Amino acid sequence: MAVWALGLNHNTAPLDLRGRFAFALDQMAPALHGLRTSHQRQPEAAILSTCNRTEVYCASDNVQIDHTLGWLARAGDVPVDALHHHTYVLRDDQAARHAFRVASGLDSMVLGEAQILGQMKSAVRAAEDAGALGTTLNQLFQRSFAVAKQVRTSTDIGAHSISMAAAAVRLAGNLFEDLREIRVLFVGAGEMVELAATHFAARQPRAIAIANRTLERGEKLASRLGGEVMRLADLPERLHEFDAIVSCTASTLPIIGLGAVERALKKRRHRPIFMVDLAVPRDIEPEVKALDDVYLYTVDDLAQVVQTGHANRQAAVAQAEAIIDAGVQSFMHWIDQRSPASGVVPLIQQLNAQADAWRAAELAKARKRLAKGEDVEAVLDGLSRGLMQKMMHGALAELHGADPDHREQTTQAIERLFLRGKAPGTGG
């Protein structure tokens, strides 16, 4: 079984190109179906899509990287050759290493940021719900979550992390003398906006408003922050009221246009507006940045701010990489064990077949006894004893028949196989 990852991120592709490959969670099921059916053999598949990256993970006994690239190019309506220059392809241990580094926050624009782990878990749930997640990718991602947890608890990788939200507040503080005197508008009510709103609310601005397509969700966030809620349709008429605007929605087209901002500036008599567009694709038309009294930042513009503290964390990065190395070796060992050449899979199949045969034999005996009217408790006791004797017979025979030279080795093998602690389901 081979594993491969194909993707583009903030290091390989500009913002507007990344925006063409953004998949919302409600688009994952049809996207995964299209991805899998585009391949000659339907692979296991998962798609991770965030503001900084879109990555496709696949597993199959037949590597089909060209098919994966072709599907992604069609999904974003970009020529394959043009997309190829902005993507990276990783296979097997390198794909595993990349997934572990992403989950641990080592491949993020914000080194050590924790949000990506939740986004990966959401991507895995979406793949599982779509029936696209098989045994191999499930193992890859579950191990990536375990590695990320170990990195988080064993190192200081996230100790000085500056989030996008904190960076936005810092930039706003550079523009406005006192954040307590400004009015802040948040467009959207998702996780990124909630995080940004929480950071701004801590600075006690004069007013907070939430504009969202669904009023109910907007009201929930607004009530927690002591702000008001408004409809997205009211944005053009009320934009001039706000000194700072932070936007992050799932819209596929900009929702704040150049004309609306020009009219707002005129009403404000050209008092400056601070704007942060955290959405991919963009929520705010890029032409807005050229206006004299607008200070517009995108996720890529925040990169320099969030790099602060990198030098202080190099020792933590080295520790994290060591943890990831061990995780990669463990995953590849698991892959190797499942290979037919290893002999492990056939042996497992033989063991399962033998256990099934024992179970069927004891069930047949139990049914005959029940048909004769024997006591149910006695039949169940006989069933359990019969299974126990069949399971223990081989081990006991080996133990009794082992010569002195091999008895210790046999004893250790039996202890490993049968005395490893409480059995599953006993509360241990």
Residues designated as active site: 51
CB 5 within 8 A of CB 68: no
Helix H or strand E segment including 85: none
Residues 6+ apart with CB under 8 A from 355: 391
Residue type, 427: G
CB 8 within 8 A of CB 86: yes
How many beta carbons lie within 10 A of that of residue 114, not counting itself? 16
Q: Is the dihedral of CA 99, 105, 110, 111 positive or negative?
A: negative
Residues 6+ apart with CB under 8 A from 137: 3, 44, 45, 46, 57, 58, 59, 127
Spell out the alpha helix ranges (H) of 10-91: 15-19, 28-37, 65-76, 80-84
For every residue of 159-204, which 3-state class applies, written as one string? Answer: CCCCCHHHHHHHHHHHHCCCHHHCEEEEECCCHHHHHHHHHHHCCC
CB 217 within 8 A of CB 252: no
- Structure-block tokens of residue 99: 């997934």
- The tally of CA atoms less than 13 A away on the side-chain side of residue 231 is 3
- Structure-block tokens of residue 182: 């400004």
Residue type, 392: M
C-alpha–C-alpha distance, residues 229 and 164, integer Å: 23
Q: Which residues pair with 49 in a beta bridge?
A: 54
Q: Is 349 helix (H, G, I), strand (E, B) or coil?
A: helix
